[in-house]
Chains A and B, each alone.
Chain A
Amino acid sequence: MRHKKIEKLLSDNIDGELSEKKKKALETHLRNCASCSSYAENIQRIHKEAKSLEKLEASPVRWEEFTSRIKAEIFSAKQEKLRGITLFLRWKWAWAGAALSFVIVAGLFLYLTQNKTPQEPYVFSFESSLARIYQEIGSDQELEELFNSVICASIGETFEDSGWGERPDFYENLILWEDLTEEEMRFLESEIKKDNKL
């Protein structure tokens, strides 16, 4: 057997953890190996010294005191726990009220946030925009005329820029929308969208 393995077996042997078979093999090796025998003596001595080293005496009075202190601490811990429970019970209505308020607030919050109808996404509509403008203008004829002239000027400029040519009758006709073709209406809508970055 190798010496390193023997050293491990020697340690197990001191602790009484070695089988009879291994013990015999160990003894055989030790009879023929001086260095392992020396190592065995050394660790045996260390073991003995270490065992005696720890036998420190403490007086019996001290142990009684120790036990009493533990008992006192246990009672103190119990009292502390009881005090906590009493305090909780004394404030039970306050705790219950706080819990109820929390439940009500949380319930309301959930109800209000979940029942909100989802907003429809905004879609540009030329007709509805115009209808809203006329609604705003209402029966104010002066304002209506002013609006129409501004729109006519704007449309005229658009036509000039696009090379569609001038439409002289355009400015004279107040009900201009009825004169526009479907294609012209689409073009106008796309231009307005472009200007307003929609």
Chain B
Amino acid sequence: MADFADDHLVRLAKQGDVDAFTELVRRFQEKIYHTILALTRNQQDAYDLAQETFMHAYKSLRNFKQRSTFYTWIYRIAVNLTLNFLKKRKSEEKREIHVEDCSLDLKSAASTLSPEGHSITKELSEKLKEAIDSLPLTYKVSFVLVVSQGLTHTQAANVLCCSENTISWRMHKARKMLQQRLRPYLEGE
């Protein structure tokens, strides 16, 4: 199963092969989970939404015409479910992310800095999280898909069902907003 291409696995899964679908889950679970986590900032919500995404995909597999790749299709489901979830949660208070350890990369990078540098980096990353969270939803999703998940503008456009120009424009606006909100922290170093 591990050697099969995504398309082939999709065809097998459509015929009722649960193992083929499980292999697809294995391939995309981390990416989907991290995308959702970047949008929700809550591990439990991300975990639940990632599960919901795959279950939704399994149930809708018959309707998947394979005009796009499975990768784009599953991303689209994940983003739509997360956006619906975030819209519902909008009125609720922002919850803190419950992660025991912060990013390993951040830790290792910060360990080389002086105590002052460490606190500045930590403060910037905290403020950056807040600033990303405060972006309008469409800008936030585009930013997360392109920056965090490394999608190209074309891929992000396919996931969000819009043009590449729209993604380019949203990225520019998102960066401008973030830069304005983080200017004191960026200049403080």
Instruction: Give me the interface of A with B, judged by CB distance under 8 Å.
Output: 7-8, 11-12, 14-17, 39, 42-43, 45-47, 49-58, 63, 66-67, 69-71, 73-75, 77-78
In the bound complex, how far is the Cα of B50 from the Cα of A134, in angstroms? 91
Q: A66 to B47, Cβ gap below 8 A?
A: yes
Closest B residue to A78 using CB positions:
B18
Closest B residue to A64 using CB positions:
B26
Residues on B with C-beta less than 8 A from A51 are 147-148
Residues on B with C-beta less than 8 A from A16 are 152
Residues on A with C-beta less than 8 A from B125 are 49, 52-53
Within 8 A of A (CB), among B113-134: 124-125, 128-129, 132
Q: B168 to A7, Cβ gap below 8 A?
A: no
Closest A residue to B97 using CB positions:
A56
Q: A67 to B152, Cβ gap below 8 A?
A: no
Q: B147 to A47, Cβ gap below 8 A?
A: yes
Task: Take A8-B168, A45-B186, A66-B50 as given contacts and tell me if A55 and B105 are in contact as well, using a CB distance cutoff of 8 Å.
Answer: yes
Residues on A with C-beta less than 8 A from B38 are 54
Residues on A with C-beta less than 8 A from B183 are 42
Q: A74 to B105, Cβ gap below 8 A?
A: no
Q: B124 to A43, Cβ gap below 8 A?
A: no
Return B106 CB to nearest CB of chain A, in Å. Answer: 5
**17 A-B pairs whose Cβ atoms sit less than 8 Å apart in the complex:** A8-B172, A14-B175, A45-B186, A46-B128, A47-B147, A49-B128, A50-B143, A50-B148, A53-B103, A53-B106, A53-B128, A54-B144, A54-B148, A63-B29, A73-B51, A73-B55, A74-B22
Residues on B with C-beta less than 8 A from A69 are 51
Task: Take A11-B168, A11-B171 as given contacts and tell me if A57 and B106 are in contact as well, using a CB distance cutoff of 8 Å.
Answer: no
Q: A12 to B168, Cβ gap below 8 A?
A: yes
B99 within 8 A of A: yes
Question: Which among B47, B55, B168 is the interface contact of A17 at CB below 8 angstroms?
Answer: B168
Residues on B with C-beta less than 8 A from A55 are 103-106
In the bound complex, how far is the Cα of B132 from the Cα of A73, in angstroms? 34
Q: A75 to B18, Cβ gap below 8 A?
A: yes
In the bound complex, how far is the Cα of B60 from the Cα of A77, in angstroms? 13
Question: Which among A50, A52, A67 is the interface contact of B26 at CB below 8 angstroms?
Answer: A67
Instruction: Give me the interface of B with A, judged by CB distance under 8 Å.
Output: 18, 21-22, 25-26, 29-30, 33-34, 37-38, 43, 47, 50-51, 54-55, 58-59, 99, 101, 103-106, 109, 124-125, 128-129, 132, 143-144, 146-149, 152-153, 168-169, 171-172, 175-176, 178-179, 182-183, 186
Residues on A with C-beta less than 8 A from B47 are 66
In the bound complex, how far is the Cα of B11 from the Cα of A135, in angstroms? 87
Task: Take A54-B37, A56-B99 as given contacts and tell me if A67 and B22 are in contact as well, using a CB distance cutoff of 8 Å.
Answer: yes
In the bound complex, how far is the Cα of B185 from the Cα of A116, in angstroms? 87
Q: A58 to B30, Cβ gap below 8 A?
A: yes
Q: A74 to B34, Cβ gap below 8 A?
A: no
Residues on B with C-beta less than 8 A from A63 are 26, 29-30
Return A116 CB to nearest CB of chain B, in Å. Answer: 48
Q: B153 to A15, Cβ gap below 8 A?
A: yes
Q: Which 3 A-B pairs have the closest CB atoms?
A: A54-B148, A11-B172, A8-B172
Return A46 CB to nearest CB of chain B, in Å. Answer: 5
Q: A70 to B182, Cβ gap below 8 A?
A: no
Closest B residue to A15 using CB positions:
B146
Q: A70 to B51, Cβ gap below 8 A?
A: yes
Residues on B with C-beta less than 8 A from A54 are 34, 37-38, 103, 144, 148-149
Residue in B55, B146, B172 whose Cβ sees the most chain A Cβ within 10 Å: B172
